[in-house]
Amino acid sequence: MKSYLKHYIGGQWVESDGGKRHVVINPATEEPASEVTLGTAADVDKAVVAAQKAFETFSQTSKEARVALLEKIIEAYKARMGDIAQAISEEMGCPISTASTAQSGAGLGHLATTLQVLKDFEFEESTGKNVVYREPIGVVALITPWNWPMNQTVAKVAPAIAAGNCVILKPSEQTPGSGAIFAEVMEAAGVPAGVFNLVQGDGPGVGEALSKHPGIDMISFTGSTRAGIMVAKNAADTVKRVSQELGGKSPFLVLPGTPLDMALPAGAGGMLLNSGQSCVAPTRFLIHSSQYEEAIEKLKDIFSAKGVDDPAKEGPHIGPVVNKSQFDKIQGLIQKGIDEGAKVAVGGTGLPEGKDKGYYVKPTVLRDVTNDMTVAREEIFGPVLVVIPYDSLDEAVEIANDTPYGLGAYIAGNPAEAKKLVRRIRAGSVFVNSGGLDMNSPFGGYKQSGNGREFGKFGLEEFMEVKSVIGELPADAEPAVSAG
């Protein structure tokens, strides 16, 4: 069992002030994987002091200095990608093949993208005779989830630091290992003391303390909509900026007449990736009634062929879901779907064949679903697909939008026909014919899927204040960001 019992504050690994030990269970073996110390409000106070002190100088560094720092972080990150992948696989059950590529690779991708964005970014622009400066917002708290630990961590840390902020990271208590290794990366890269701080902990302890703290200027949160609402409420009294990426229930709209052999495998692959534990996964398939039965048969074949196995093994299989609580929730929702009239096309409740321990879920397709059923309304966060028929494109758009969420949407079929529907879909990202995430394009949601945007220059701008300077300045005047 690996131990991550210290926080990283002010450039030092320090003991918690009153924290308690927490054991992370490997979801494949149901045995301890790692231990961490859940921090306290006192730990948060120390991190804020360290970040505020560092901000006085780091906020004044030049773009060139921060470019050089990002380059060092990239090299240090590359050296630890294997360790990061191993920690993710053991703590959340992601198969090592995926953890070594998509999971750890996402962090490197965001670092590289942010580096190029920073090189090209203009921190000053004119508005006629006057000037607008973009400046760092201050001390930023970053609260990240367990399902894509490095993707969400680095998508926040990289642009926040590139903008000149100082940060306090609270990773999920379910995946503390990758967060601790990332702190070691930052230390190895020579990130100045206090610019990056790590406080391990849970939501009620560290998360709430960060949200309420008057010394923190901004919260960037990724997680459930329920938790995001609490973060926003806790942050309201100090009027801090709150940027959130929350839940999703993304539709996958197959246009009438689209060859199903082309459309369904890609959509199913996106649904099954990471055992369905992705906020932007296409969890609601909308199929024209004329192709519905054919689609169900093909989806049965795809889902029944998907292996479920030990995440320590290399291969294309999926692993378990993250913990017992999540397993129980998924089992309950599958049963709820059955109780409300959905039929199991493949999969269903219980452990997959050959498994007698671990939090493994059968890849499941629920058919005859209507959009008012619980399984069509709530985030399941497991390898469970619901398939809904439609009779017209107007009805399909109505179903697609009939959700409290609006993170992603997918359209498969004729691009010219898809283009007609894109603006009618209420979602932050619309993927046409299996287009994947683009780290230069903005990522975030409509409605209860959050506010603000991440990735690329849009993510960099999220961590900045905008200052207007009204009045003439000397032509050679330098903005603060160019100092140092």
Same domain, 299 and 420: yes
Domain count, the chain: 2
CA distance 412 to 433: 5
HSE-CB of 62 using CA atoms within 13 angstroms: 7
Q: Is residue 156 part of a domain?
A: yes
pLDDT tens for 61-106 read 999 999 999 999 999 999 999 999 999 999 999 999 999 999 999 9
Q: What angle do CA 271, 277, 278 make, to 5 degrees?
A: 70
pLDDT tens for 138-182 read 999 999 999 999 999 999 999 999 999 999 999 999 999 999 999
Q: Is residue 54 part of a domain?
A: yes
Residue 424 pLDDT: 98
Residue 478 pLDDT: 54
Identify the CATH number of the domain in which residue 396 sits. Answer: 3.40.309.10
Residue 482 pLDDT: 40
pLDDT tens for 317-348 read 999 999 999 999 999 999 999 999 999 999 99
Residue 483 pLDDT: 36
Same domain, 196 and 322: no
Question: Cβ neighbours of residue 263 under 8 Å, at least 6 residues apart?
Answer: 254, 412, 413
**Roughly what angle, to the nearest 10 degrees, separates helices 260-272 and 292-305?**
50
CA distance 438 to 462: 17
R_g of the chain, CA atoms, integer Å: 23
Residue 484 pLDDT: 33
pLDDT confidence bin for 475, thresholds 50/70/90: low
pLDDT tens for 402-439 read 999 999 999 999 999 999 999 999 999 999 998 789 99
Same domain, 209 and 349: no
Q: Is residue 478 part of a domain?
A: no
CA distance 163 to 114: 10
Residue 417 backbone phi and psi in degrees, to 5: -70, -40
Looking at the predicted structure, is the pLDDT value of residue 294 above 80? yes
Looking at the predicted structure, is the pLDDT value of residue 114 above 90? yes
Tell me the average pLDDT of the chain.
96
Q: Which residues are catalytic?
A: 245, 279
CA distance 442 to 55: 27
CA distance 116 to 110: 10
Other beta carbons within 10 Å of 255: 21
Same domain, 13 and 124: yes
Same domain, 161 and 190: yes
